C-alpha cells in the first residue's frame, strides 16, 4: 500500500498550514476525501477517519450554530489518531475547539481560499495520481501534436531513434525505454518516466543523452495520457498490412483498451513522419472526420456512376 506525506501535498498543491506544521510528516493512503456531514450531528458509525477531512461552507456554518460544549464533543470524536489532516476551504477560520483537539491529537490543519468542491477535486486527483499502482512497460512515450503516443516494437527496431527524430521536429519526450503507466480512471492511462530515466534517452552508438539539456525545456514533459500505441514491425512481403485504416486494433494497458496501429519499418520509410500523420489522423477521427469513410463514399459514388453509364 502506497502512502504520501501531508507535507508533500501541502508543497505540491501550494496550500497553507493553519496549525500543526510540526505534524506534516503524517501520511495518507486513501485518495478519497471525507466531508463530515452526519458526523457533525453525532453519527460516527461509518466515519472514514483514515481519510483527509474537508470542511467547507456547509460544515463551518453548521458547527457555528452549535454550543462550545457540543463542538468539543464532536471534534473529540472527529480527530482520531490515524486522521491524516483537516482541510478548511474558502478561507474560513477553523473553530477554536477544532484547533484545540487537532493539536491534542497532532493533526495538522490546512487552509485554502479555493472553493470546497474544486479543492476536493484538486486534492483527490493529486492523491489518485500519487497513490496509483504503477506498471512498467517497454517502449518510448512521446507527445505528438498534444497526443500521447507510445512507440513499441522489439529491441533494435529503432524506437529511440524515431523518438529522437520526433523531438527534433518539435515534439516532446515523456519516457524512453521504460514507461511507468497507471490508470487514472476507467478510460484513461497516464504514462511517465521512472525517476532514474527522467528526460534521458539511450541512443545506440552515442550513449545516454539529456534531452532537456540539449533541446530545451519545451522538448520534455513529465507525464501524459496515452492516446495511441504505435507498434513498429519489420517489413515483410508475406504479411498483410492495413492499407485503408479500416481495421481497428487495441491493446490493453493496465486493463484499459488503447487504440493501436502497426507500422511496417523498412529502409527509406520515414517512420517519424508517418507517426506524425498517424497522430493527426487519429485526432481527426476523434473529431468526427474519417478519411476511410470518405474514400468508401467516393468509391460507392464512382461505382454507381459507372453503373448508370453502362445502363445508358
Q: Tell me the catalytic residues.
A: 138, 159, 177, 243
Burial call 108-118: b when 16+ CB within 10 Å, e when fewer: bbbbbebebee
Q: Is 266 annotated as a binding residue?
A: no
CA quadruple 295, 300, 302, 304: dihedral, nearest 10:
-170
Q: Is 29 annotated as a binding residue?
A: no
Q: Is 310 annotated as a binding residue?
A: no
52, 87 in Cβ contact below 8 A? Answer: yes
Vertex 93: Cα angle to 89 and 96 (nearest 5): 130
Q: Is 155 annotated as a binding residue?
A: yes
CA distances from 38 to 57, 149, 158 (A): 15, 46, 59
181, 137 in Cβ contact below 8 A? Answer: yes
Q: Is 159 annotated as a binding residue?
A: yes
Distance CA 59, CA 61 (A): 6
Beta-strand ranges (E) seen in the chain are 4-5, 16-19, 27-28, 33-34, 52-55, 86-88, 109-111, 135-138, 140-144, 147-152, 172-175, 178-185, 188-192, 200-203, 207-210, 223-234, 249-253, 256-265
Q: Is 202 annotated as a binding residue?
A: yes
Q: Is 157 annotated as a binding residue?
A: yes
Q: Is 42 annotated as a binding residue?
A: no
| φ/ψ bin of 20: left (φ > 0), alpha (ψ from -120 to 50), beta (otherwise) | left
Q: Is 169 annotated as a binding residue?
A: no
Vertex 136: Cα angle to 135 and 142 (nearest 5): 115
Of 137, 259, 242, 145, which is closest to residue 191 (Cα–Cα)? 137
Maximum distance among all alpha carbons in the chain? 97
Binding residues for ATP: 153-160
Q: Residues annotated in the binding site, as ranges?
A: 153-160, 202
User: Residues marked as binding for Mg(2+)?
Assistant: 160, 202
Amino acid at each position: 500500500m502506497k502512502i504520501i506525506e501531508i507535507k508533500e501535498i501541502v508543497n505540491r498543491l501550494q496550500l497553507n498550514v493553519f496549525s500543526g506544521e510540526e505534524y506534516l510528516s503524517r501520511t495518507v493512503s486513501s485518495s478519497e476525501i471525507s466531508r463530515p456531514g452526519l458526523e457533525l450531528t453525532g453519527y460516527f458509525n461509518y466515519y472514514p477517519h483514515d481519510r483527509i477531512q474537508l470542511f467547507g461552507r456547509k460544515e463551518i456554518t453548521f458547527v457555528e450554530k452549535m454550543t462550545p460544549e457540543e463542538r468539543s464533543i464532536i471534534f473529540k470524536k472527529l480527530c482520531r489518531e490515524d486522521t491524516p489532516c483537516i482541510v478548511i476551504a474558502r478561507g474560513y477560520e477553523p473553530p477554536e475547539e477544532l484547533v484545540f483537539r487537532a493539536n491534542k491529537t497532532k493533526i495538522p490543519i490546512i487552509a485554502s481560499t479555493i472553493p470546497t468542491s474544486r479543492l476536493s477535486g484538486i486534492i483527490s486527483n493529486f492523491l489518485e495520481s500519487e497513490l496509483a499502482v504503477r506498471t512498467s512497460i517497454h517502449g518510448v512515450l512521446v507527445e505528438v501534436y498534444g497526443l500521447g503516443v507510445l512507440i513499441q516494437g522489439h529491441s533494435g527496431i529503432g524506437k529511440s531513434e524515431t523518438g529522437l527524430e520526433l523531438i527534433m521536429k518539435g515534439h516532446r519526450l515523456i519516457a524512453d525505454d521504460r514507461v511507468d503507466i497507471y490508470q487514472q480512471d476507467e478510460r484513461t492511462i497516464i504514462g511517465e518516466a521512472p525517476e532514474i530515466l527522467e528526460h534521458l534517452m539511450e541512443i545506440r552508438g552515442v550513449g545516454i543523452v539529456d534531452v532537456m539539456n540539449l533541446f530545451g525545456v519545451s522538448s520534455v514533459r513529465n507525464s501524459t495520457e496515452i492516446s495511441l500505441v504505435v507498434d513498429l514491425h519489420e517489413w515483410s512481403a508475406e504479411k498483410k498490412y492495413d492499407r485503408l485504416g479500416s481495421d481497428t486494433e487495441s491493446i490493453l494497458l493496465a486493463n484499459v483498451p488503447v487504440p493501436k496501429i502497426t507500422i511496417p519499418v523498412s529502409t527509406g520509410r520515414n517512420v517519424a513522419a508517418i507517426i506524425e500523420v498517424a497522430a493527426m489522423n487519429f485526432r481527426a477521427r476523434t473529431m468526427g472526420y474519417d478519411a476511410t469513410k470518405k474514400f468508401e463514399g467516393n468509391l460507392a459514388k464512382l461505382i454507381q456512376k459507372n453503373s448508370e453509364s453502362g445502363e445508358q
